[in-house]
Amino acid sequence: MLDGAVVPWGSPSVVCSFILTNDSMTQLHWAKWPERSLGTALLMRRAHRLALAHIQAPLHVWVHVADVGRPELPLPVHPFGLTISTVSRHRHSAEDLFPDYSFATWPAIGYDGDAMGWSEFQEALLLAGQRPARRRLQRRALFAGDATLHPARKIILDLARVSAEARRLIDVRDVPRREGSDSALFVPFEQMSGWEYLLDLPGGGWSGRLKFLPLLGRPLIVVERDAWGWGDGHVLRPGAHYRRVNATTTGAWQEASFSFNPEEVLAEVRWCKEHPAEAAAMAQRALEQVRSALTEQEVDAQAARVLGRAIRDAEAVGGAKDEL
């Protein structure tokens, strides 16, 4: 089942769905991404144990796991049960989101949930940021990712190609997804601590790695984007935990236009260089925030809060319980 998308009502599946009772959880739909299906199921199983008191009868729960959350995508309207999402277009609503799958497992950045727990992965990143470097830190801001996923990435890449000043301040690497770790420009996640600053650019949707980057202990620069998850949108705040580069996304998601000034990225790197104490304090605040707010216990509690609130809200309008 995990090898292909389940196709409800003729649309590619970007949801996982579950039947919850007081003593069981059964998965009915799998999204077209195996990691998202697996990670969401693990988080739902833990949330289900914490939210048992709210479940009075068999309950059908749909979890949207697309890069941009409901209601921004033209997703099927689920005729029964309740719907929660891992992503929103609006930062202010990130507090109400279900934790995304990467809290349970994300082998692409070195977190294999079968081989280690969430706390062990955090410790590995902390050690990577604190152990003595084999060579001097690169005094630039690193970004490595597929440049085709968002126009911001190509804009920054083009700037670095034509500007010697940009190359002095940023190390931008186009790593196509089809190549991944086989690319000569690929940087394993924990080895990103070899750069003095880190840059996060928008991608296909929400940023899976933004909430993990602070664990490497480097000042972080973030270009604003149009999709937020719970960890990156609610737990991390601009100014307190990273330097923000303003950007504007206008229009419907599929036809949206994006604009920002790439020179502001360079200006933020310069700020970090000119204010090392403030930049280091910012990086430390971000690290401490992630360590305290994104423990396994807090992730599970957030999942249970979102699930429990959705159940109560649905019951209030009389449509929460399925007739199975």
pLDDT exceeds 90 at position 50:
no
Average of pLDDT values for 291-302?
A: 94
pLDDT tens-digit readout, 77-92: 566 788 889 998 888 8
What is the distance between the alpha carbons of residues 259 and 238, in angstroms, rounded to a whole number?
19
The average confidence (pLDDT) of the chain is 86
CATH number of the domain located at residue range(s) 115-294 in this protein: 3.40.50
Average of pLDDT values for 102-108?
A: 91
Least trusted range by pLDDT, from 53-57, 110-114, 178-182: 53-57
The pair phi, psi for residue 255, each rounded to 5°, is: -115, 20
- Report the pLDDT value the prediction gives residue 97, as an integer from 0 to 100: 94
pLDDT exceeds 90 at position 125:
yes
- Report the pLDDT value the prediction gives residue 211, as an integer from 0 to 100: 95
Average of pLDDT values for 177-192?
A: 90
Average of pLDDT values for 123-140?
A: 84
Place of tokens 């749909």: 62
What is the distance between the alpha carbons of residues 241 and 168, in angstroms, rounded to a whole number?
24
Return the higher-pLDDT residue of 169 and 84: 169
What is the distance between the alpha carbons of residues 18 and 58, in angstroms, rounded to a whole number?
10
- Report the pLDDT value the prediction gives residue 8, as an integer from 0 to 100: 43
Q: In the chain, where are the structural domains located? A: 8-103+297-316, 115-294
What is the distance between the alpha carbons of residues 53 and 48, in angstroms, rounded to a whole number?
9
Place of tokens 């999942």: 303
Least trusted range by pLDDT, from 69-73, 157-161, 191-195, 283-287: 69-73
- Report the pLDDT value the prediction gives residue 75, as an integer from 0 to 100: 57
What is the distance between the alpha carbons of residues 33 and 4, in angstroms, rounded to a whole number?
8
Model's pTM, two decimal places?
0.88
Average of pLDDT values for 185-212?
A: 93
Return the higher-pLDDT residue of 41 and 324: 41
Q: Side-chain half-sphere of 314: how many Cα atoms within 13 Å?
A: 24
One-letter amino acid for residue 244 of the chain: R
pLDDT tens-digit readout, 219-271: 999 999 888 999 999 999 999 999 999 998 887 665 678 889 999 999 999 99
Residue 317 pLDDT grade (very low, low, confident, very high; cuts 50, 70, 90) = low
Single out the residue of 309, 308, 304, 294 nearest to residue 103, CA to CA: 294
pLDDT exceeds 60 at position 76:
no
What is the distance between the alpha carbons of residues 102 and 85, in angstroms, rounded to a whole number?
14
- Report the pLDDT value the prediction gives residue 288, as an integer from 0 to 100: 97
- Report the pLDDT value the prediction gives residue 71, as an integer from 0 to 100: 57
Least trusted range by pLDDT, from 40-44, 76-80, 136-140, 150-154: 76-80
pLDDT exceeds 80 at position 104:
yes
Average of pLDDT values for 175-193?
A: 90
What is the distance between the alpha carbons of residues 316 and 86, in angstroms, rounded to a whole number?
22
pLDDT exceeds 60 at position 158:
yes
Residue 134 pLDDT grade (very low, low, confident, very high; cuts 50, 70, 90) = low
